[in-house]
Amino acid sequence: MSIIYQKSMAALDKVVPKSIQPFWNHPAGPKTIFFWAPVFKWGLVIAGLNDLRRPADKLSISQSSALLATGLIWSRYSLVIIPKNWSLFSVNVFVAGTQLYQVIRAVRYQQELRSKAAAQSAVDNK
């Protein structure tokens, strides 16, 4: 696989315009995993945005919390590694943001259920 990759990159190096060469050859550029991992991670952001239409009773607090924590941890990590990976930082900020919103929605829904149950219990006890 390494030989195929190296030959592919050598062929692509010849056709990449000079104006894009700094980006192309950057330590976190398209020739590295540092570029492609964040690109594919945008799928998590898209899924999180898609879940905004999901009813709050169908949200998993533990799953959203895990993704929130992952987004926060990797956001921090992306700023301490060398080279700084701003693409990784931005995607993880968005992952954390969408999941924070989902956690808030789910917790509010749970609180609403508890308050309705308490109110019903108070009515039943009278």
Q: pLDDT tens, 22-33? A: 888 888 788 877
Q: Taking 70 as the threshold, does the pLDDT of residue 69 lie above it?
A: yes
Q: What is the pLDDT of residues 94-119, one digit of tens each?
A: 999 999 999 999 999 999 999 988 88
Biggest alpha carbon–alpha carbon distance for the chain: 82
pLDDT recorded at residue 1: 58
What whole-number percentage of the chain has pLDDT above 90?
Answer: 51
Please give, one letter per residue, the 3-state secondary structure of the chain.
CHHHHHHHHHHHHHHCCHHHHHHHCCCCCCCCHHHHHHHHHHHHHHHHHHHHHCCHHHCCHHHHHHHHHHHHHHHHHHHHCCCCCHHHHHHHHHHHHHHHHHHHHHHHHHHHHHHHHHHHHHHHHC
Domain locations in the chain? 35-125
Q: State residue 6's pLDDT score.
A: 81
Quick check: 74 and 39 in contact, CB under 8 A? no
Distance between CA atoms of 73 and 50, rounded to whole angstroms?
23
